Amino acid sequence: MSINFTRKQSFYLNDAINKDQFYSICTNIQSSLQNDASVLMVTSISQSRNIATAAAYLALAFSEQRKRVLVVDANLRQPSLHQVFKIDDSFGLTDLLLNDSPHLNQAIHIKDSLFCLPTSDVLYEPAALLTLETLPALIAGWKENFDIILFHTSDSLAKPDANIVANHCDGIILAIQEGRDKLEKIAGLKSQFERANHEILGSMIIS
């Protein structure tokens, strides 16, 4: 299932018109999930601030359907969720990945049952950080406290980051930028995930 999303202004928590577009894809995704606590990923062919904004609205829509949601900025190359939510990014995912106590709950409360973990400073190669054993330990801890863990990642064709994160996910939401992402690249990305047995649960077409 796909939705069309037009983003021309800042993220707004009470933007009913834009939130409504995401409720249907949330319902469709939930019907495909088997676990009580599910790990999802938003990824794309190329990056833009609009994709982070769409990921934020998707997380918000899940939270307003009585889900406790953690949205994690795993885009270590171009982090932007802290800008979308207008939150401090002095502490975040990279700190937890390098920490010996990965179950520390340092996510920032956004609204009601929605929380965000920004990236913080990236001092090492992003792909190396994401392959640390602390990532699955973090996810296991988050599952005890959240119904949905939603990763926002970097582009999936140029770098390995999203493919690494996908190994820990129950499904993928593909963000497609209308007029920018070529059809052959979209098809190539879908084939790439399918070969790795990663399921694409839906798509967001962003104009």
Alpha carbons 87 and 108: distance in angstroms, whole number: 8
Q: Which fold has domain 2-6+17-180+195-206?
A: Rossmann fold (3.40.50)
User: Domain residues of the chain, as ranges?
Assistant: 2-6+17-180+195-206
- Predicted confidence band of residue 1 (pLDDT cuts 50, 70, 90): low
Q: Are 60 and 89 in contact (CB under 8 A)?
A: no
pTM over 0.75: yes
CB 150 within 8 A of CB 72: yes
Q: Where are the alpha helices (DSSP H) in the chain?
A: 16-32, 49-63, 81-85, 93-97, 126-130, 134-143, 161-166, 183-195
Give the model confidence (pLDDT) of 147-206 as tens digits.
Answer: 999 999 987 667 889 999 999 999 999 988 887 778 888 888 888 888 888 989 988 888
| pLDDT tens readout for residues 42-90 | 998 877 778 888 899 999 999 998 899 999 999 999 999 999 999 999 9
